Structure 1
Amino acid sequence: MAHTVPDKFLDLLQPETKAFAQLALVLADGTPQVTPIWFGYDTKTGLFTFNTARGRLKDRVMARHPVVAFAISDPQNPYRYLQVRGPVVEETEERGYEQICDLNEKYQGNRNYTKNPGEVRVTYRVQPERFQTMG
């Protein structure tokens, strides 16, 4: 079931805020793993997006267990955050490189994301099922 981002935290999703997310995954041995990531938010669908390269740890873990949690902290006040939990509802290589260039533009101000030889970029879309907020 889709849920709506609380209005008070929509500013964290705006490109000009440049907030990072901290993605939490559970490894095969049951231990947690957290990675800072760039993310996008689609206002039309309500889905969160992020990107990695095929074969990296995030890619392998989500193939095994496609449920994630991530926290988006306010860059001006780290005690204010939005936590999101939900399933990965789509994984696609289509436009993967273009999507990481979109994120590079958001966070670095240009579309010049360096692609490693042979690298295949993958976009993930997460349907938020639960939010927790602070601040």
Structure 2
Amino acid sequence: MSVQDREAFLAGLHVGVLGVDDPRHDGGPLLVPLWYSYEPGGLVAIETGRKTQKARLIREAGRFSLCVQDEKAPYRYVSVEGPVVSIEDPLPPVEREALAHRYLEAENAAAYLAANHQQLTDDILVRMRPQRWRTADFSAFAAEFDT
């Protein structure tokens, strides 16, 4: 993908899969699906509970990866990895509301925010600067077979 295409794809509405090094038990990385936000040229932002295993591992590693994909053909994905550049604690309410409205219709977002108000007060906002990009777009490949 071109720089413009990969940034537009990452800015699109996808559930991301966060990956962060997890040295426990000699295992692989911790992989967790989550909501995220991104504007082309900017930072990836995620929210999580301040006392979660995910938050602890992100703080220890100082970086994380995020992968997003199209689950329908023609398949595409973007994976980014980079350093954490800020952690806002507590999560700013405007960020919490923006993320809920990104993923849910207005009425459902309001209900979600109200129902999870107490839990969401325990969240932090983590921002990551994309440093390494990996992408694939199988549109051209799929077009060869679309006759």
TM-score between both structures, scaled by the size of structure 2: 0.75
Q: 5+ residue gaps in structure 1? A: none
User: What fraction of aligned residue pairs are identical, expressed as a percent?
Assistant: 22
Structure with greater Cα Rg: 2
In the alignment, does 2:62 pair up with 1:60?
no
Match of 1:100 in 2: 96
Instruction: Give deviations 1:45-87, integer Å, cap 9, x for gaps.
Output: 5111111111012111112111111111125448310010101
Match of 2:4 in 1: 7
Distance 1:117 1:65 in 2: 25
Q: Is contact 1:13–1:41 with CA below 8 Å preserved after alignment? A: yes
Secondary structure at 1:59 match in 2: helix
Q: Which amino acid aligns with 1:11?
A: A
Q: Which amino acid aligns with 1:129?
A: Q
Deviation at 1:117, TM superposition (A): 5.4
Q: Which amino acid aligns with 1:25?
A: V
Considering only aligned residues, what root-mean-square deviation do their CA atoms show, in Å? 2.3
Deviation at 1:9, TM superposition (A): 2.5
Structure 1 residue corresponding to 2:30, chosen from 24, 30, 33: 33
In the alignment, does 2:124 pair up with 1:129?
no
TM-score between both structures, scaled by the size of structure 1: 0.81
Q: Which amino acid aligns with 2:20?
A: L
Deviation at 1:95, TM superposition (A): 4.4
Write 1 or 2 for the structure with the bigger share of helix.
2
Q: Which amino acid aligns with 1:86?
A: G
In the alignment, does 2:68 pair up with 1:72?
yes
Instruction: Give deviations 1:70-112, integer Å, cap 9, x for gaps.
Output: 1111254483100101011100125434312211101012343
Secondary structure at 2:117 match in 1: coil
